[in-house]
């Protein structure tokens, strides 16, 4: 069951009324449920354990969904690895205790410095996204280490993931991956390049997939590729199937994880490879809420605005992807309460700083506390200092306890980083 629901008239995460967190740590504040994070991770673990031995797969949590070290540490304790897309995420994942043999490095723009760190740490796999990157990894790996770097080429299978255009990644014309048709020739080259063990194939077709069909199509194309590569003499031992399932933001039915595992069983297991998954959103999204307080209620023409203290800098998804997030008052509305349409907006000086237009809510009082739901993934990790607004605090809840896992940033710290050059002084 979901970890955030009304109990005794109050919206509670596990057994903590969210109002208590807001009273103690102020708003805006991100709150995450330990139990929900664990449940979400276990769902993958169980679905995969049901179809293959535990040592044949690694679930590398996609850190970019939420890269707080407390969360990386929690998932690491449960057995997760990490999929990192920058040197920063790699650093945080190592600091949080994720081990090198469970770390995958993805991303189209890796720097030489980042590649060297991956090679020196002997991580599980580097997912290479272009021929120039392949050349650079080879040069650096040959110089840095006597052992060969395990790499996969991330292939672009030209499959429409049927998701928001800004988070679809597996169609030809996207910047991601290597055209699957060009892959065999590149693997043939990679085999003879210094420093490289091209033993993996990786794919990631996009995020927030609510339908299994595109996964099935991509997996089939990957399986065909693995067979072809083996026929031409490549040794392929791992297949990385990329990000996880979509999540319901407004009550939709998400894809069934057992059926997803069924696709892996039917299409990938016959290849007898080590399977890597990189779920992010489906681990963190519904484990988190963003708490925000109403600052002003502004009536203008026939519009009623709730101006809240969280903004697009704290949660960018609505502004970036027109994303829907449910908004719930932290005090439970009375049964049969009359609904009013509100535009819920932040304080940032842009019209895109709108969480929702026409949200149907019971009458909201000034100072009311609201929870913006399903905000655990791509929320805090995408937050910025726009409008010189400090990054919000983050709190982890477990049963009746809650603790800061990141204090709110201080305005002084933001300001202190600026430098006025002498010649201006
Ligand atoms: C973003 C990303 C993921 C995570 O996707 P989710 O939809 O959050 O599960 C996994 N792998 C790669 C390469 C990514 O870029």
Pocket test for ligand 1, best of 62, 175, 178, 286 (most atoms within 8 A of CB): 62
Residues with a catalytic annotation lie at 349
Residue nearest to atom 14 of ligand 1 (CA): 243
**How far, in Å, CA of 76 to CA of 60, rounded?**
9
Does residue 370 lie in a domain region?
yes
- The arithmetic mean of pLDDT across residues 243-254, rounded, is 96
Residue nearest to atom 3 of ligand 1 (CA): 243
Does residue 423 lie in a domain region?
no
Is 295's pLDDT higher than 90? yes
pLDDT tens for 326-351 read: 999 999 999 999 999 999 999 999 99
Q: Are residues 268 and 161 in the same domain?
A: yes
pLDDT tens for 86-140 read: 999 999 999 999 999 999 999 999 999 999 999 999 999 999 999 999 999 999 9
pLDDT of residue 165: 85
What is the CATH number for 348?
Answer: 2.40.37.10
**How far, in Å, CA of 42 to CA of 39, rounded?**
5
Cis peptide before 28 (omega within 30 of 0): yes
CA dihedral defined by 264, 265, 268, 269, rounded to 10 degrees? 140
Is 151's pLDDT higher than 80? yes
Does residue 421 lie in a domain region?
no
In the chain, % of residues over pLDDT 90:
95
Pocket test for ligand 1, best of 133, 202, 204 (most atoms within 8 A of CB): 204
Does residue 184 lie in a domain region?
yes
pLDDT tens for 221-232 read: 999 999 999 999
User: How far does residue 85's CA lie from ligand 1's centre (Å)?
Assistant: 9
pLDDT of residue 221: 98
Measure the N-to-C terminal CA separation of the chain; round to a whole number of Å.
60
Does residue 422 lie in a domain region?
no
Q: Are residues 194 and 299 in the same domain?
A: no
User: How far does residue 321's CA lie from ligand 1's centre (Å)?
Assistant: 16
Q: Are residues 176 and 38 in the same domain?
A: yes
Instruction: Measure the CA angle with vertex 24, ends 19 and 25; round to 5°.
Output: 100
Q: Are residues 244 and 291 in the same domain?
A: no
Q: pLDDT-derived band of residue 241, with 50, 70 and 90 as boundaries? A: very high
Q: Are residues 191 and 295 in the same domain?
A: no
Q: Are residues 293 and 260 in the same domain?
A: no
- Report the atom number in ligand 1 closest to the C-alpha of 377: 8
User: Could you tell me which of 82, 79, 81 has the C-alpha nearest to residue 49?
Assistant: 79
What is the CATH number for 153?
Answer: 3.20.20.10
Tell me the β-bridge partners of 82.
61, 103
CB atoms within 10 A of CB 359: 19
User: How far does residue 216's CA lie from ligand 1's centre (Å)?
Assistant: 17
State if residue 390 touches ligand 1 by the CB under 6 angstroms criterion: no
pLDDT of residue 286: 98
pLDDT tens for 392-402 read: 999 999 999 99
pLDDT tens for 27-62 read: 999 999 999 999 999 999 999 999 999 999 999 999
**How far, in Å, CA of 396 to CA of 34, rounded?**
7
Q: Are residues 174 and 270 in the same domain?
A: yes
Counting Cβ atoms within 10 Å, is residue 189 exposed (0-12), middle (13-18) or buried (19+)? middle
Instruction: Tell me if residue 317 falls in helix, strand or coil.
Output: helix
User: How far does residue 57's CA lie from ligand 1's centre (Å)?
Assistant: 17
Pocket test for ligand 1, best of 84, 244, 280, 286 (most atoms within 8 A of CB): 280
Residue nearest to atom 2 of ligand 1 (CA): 243
**How far, in Å, CA of 341 to CA of 313, rounded?**
24
Instruction: Tell me if residue 152 falls in helix, strand or coil.
Output: strand
User: How far does residue 106's CA lie from ligand 1's centre (Å)?
Assistant: 9
Residue nearest to atom 4 of ligand 1 (CA): 243
pLDDT of residue 425: 82
Pocket test for ligand 1, best of 154, 201, 243 (most atoms within 8 A of CB): 243
Is 175's pLDDT higher than 90? no
Q: Are residues 82 and 179 in the same domain?
A: yes
pLDDT of residue 2: 85
Answer with the one of 252, 283, 314 that is the final residue of a domain. Answer: 283
Is 163's pLDDT higher than 90? no
Does residue 203 lie in a domain region?
yes
Is 219's pLDDT higher than 80? yes
State if residue 170 touches ligand 1 by the CB under 6 angstroms criterion: no
- The arithmetic mean of pLDDT across residues 345-359, rounded, is 96
User: How far does residue 44's CA lie from ligand 1's centre (Å)?
Assistant: 15
Q: Are residues 339 and 290 in the same domain?
A: yes
Q: Are residues 331 and 255 in the same domain?
A: no
**How far, in Å, CA of 217 to CA of 171, rounded?**
12
pLDDT of residue 169: 84
pLDDT of residue 123: 98
State if residue 62 touches ligand 1 by the CB under 6 angstroms criterion: yes
Q: Is the pTM of this model over 0.95?
A: yes
**How far, in Å, CA of 31 to CA of 405, rounded?**
10
pLDDT tens for 259-284 read: 999 999 999 999 999 999 999 999 99
User: How far does residue 42's CA lie from ligand 1's centre (Å)?
Assistant: 18
Answer with the one of 283, 310, 331 that is the final residue of a domain. Answer: 283
Q: Are residues 171 and 314 in the same domain?
A: no
Q: Are residues 172 and 43 in the same domain?
A: yes
pLDDT of residue 171: 83
State if residue 4 touches ligand 1 by the CB under 6 angstroms criterion: no
Answer with the one of 283, 302, 329 that is the final residue of a domain. Answer: 283
**How far, in Å, CA of 35 to CA of 196, rounded?**
40
Taking each helix axis from N to C end, the angle separating 69-77 and 87-95, rounded to the nearest 10 degrees, works out to 60
- Report the atom number in ligand 1 closest to the C-alpha of 64: 1
pLDDT of residue 411: 98
Residue 42 is part of which domain span?
A: 34-283
CB atoms within 10 A of CB 5: 12
State if residue 154 touches ligand 1 by the CB under 6 angstroms criterion: no
pLDDT of residue 1: 61
- The arithmetic mean of pLDDT across residues 288-314, rounded, is 97
User: Does 160 or 265 have the greater pLDDT score?
Assistant: 265
Structural domains counted in the chain: 2
In the chain, % of residues over pLDDT 70:
100
């Amino acid at each position: 069951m979901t970890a955030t629901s009304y109990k005794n008239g109050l919206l509670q995460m596990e057994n903590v009324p969210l109002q208590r967190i807001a009273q103690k740590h102020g708003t805006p504040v991100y709150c995450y449920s330990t139990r929900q994070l664990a449940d979400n991770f276990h769902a993958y673990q169980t679905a995969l354990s049901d179809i293959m031995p535990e040592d044949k797969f690694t679930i590398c949590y996609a850190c970019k969904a939420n890269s707080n070290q407390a969360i990386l540490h929690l998932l690491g304790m449960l057995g997760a690895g990490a999929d990192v897309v920058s040197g920063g995420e790699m650093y945080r994942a190592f600091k949080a205790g994720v081990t090198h043999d469970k770390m995958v490095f993805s991303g189209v723009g890796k720097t030489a410095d980042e590649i060297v760190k991956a090679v020196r740490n002997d991580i599980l796999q580097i997912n290479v996204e272009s021929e120039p990157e392949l050349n650079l990894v080879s040069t650096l790996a040959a110089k840095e280490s006597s052992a060969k770097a395990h790499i996969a080429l991330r292939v672009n299978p030209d499959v429409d993931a049927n998701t928001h255009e800004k988070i679809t990644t597996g169609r030809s014309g996207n910047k991601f991956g290597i055209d699957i048709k060009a892959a065999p020739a590149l693997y043939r080259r990679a085999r003879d390049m210094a420093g490289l063990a091209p033993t993996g194939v990786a794919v990631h077709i996009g995020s927030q997939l609510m339908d299994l069909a595109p996964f099935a199509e991509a997996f089939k194309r990957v399986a065909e590729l693995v067979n072809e590569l083996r026929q031409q003499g490549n040794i392929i031992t791992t297949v990385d199937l990329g990000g996880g399932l979509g999540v319901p933001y407004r009550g939709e039915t998400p894809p069934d994880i057992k059926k997803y595992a069924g696709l892996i069983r039917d299409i990938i297991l016959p290849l007898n490879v080590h399977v890597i998954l990189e779920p992010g959103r489906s681990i963190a999204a519904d484990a988190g809420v963003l708490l925000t307080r109403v600052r002003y209620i502004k009536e203008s023409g026939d519009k009623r605005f709730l101006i809240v203290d969280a903004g697009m800098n704290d949660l960018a998804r609505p502004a970036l992807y027109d994303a829907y997030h449910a908004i719930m008052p932290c005090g439970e509305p009375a049964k049969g309460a009359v609904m009013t349409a509100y535009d819920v907006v932040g304080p940032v000086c842009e019209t895109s700083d709108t969480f929702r237009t026409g949200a149907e809510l019971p009458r909201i009082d000034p100072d009311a506390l609201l929870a913006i739901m399903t905000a655990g993934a791509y929320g805090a990790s995408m937050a910025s200092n726009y409008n010189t607004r400090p990054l919000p605090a983050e709190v982890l809840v477990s049963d009746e306890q809650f603790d800061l896992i990141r204090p709110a940033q201080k305005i002084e710290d933001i300001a202190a980083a600026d430098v006025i050059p002498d010649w201006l002084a």
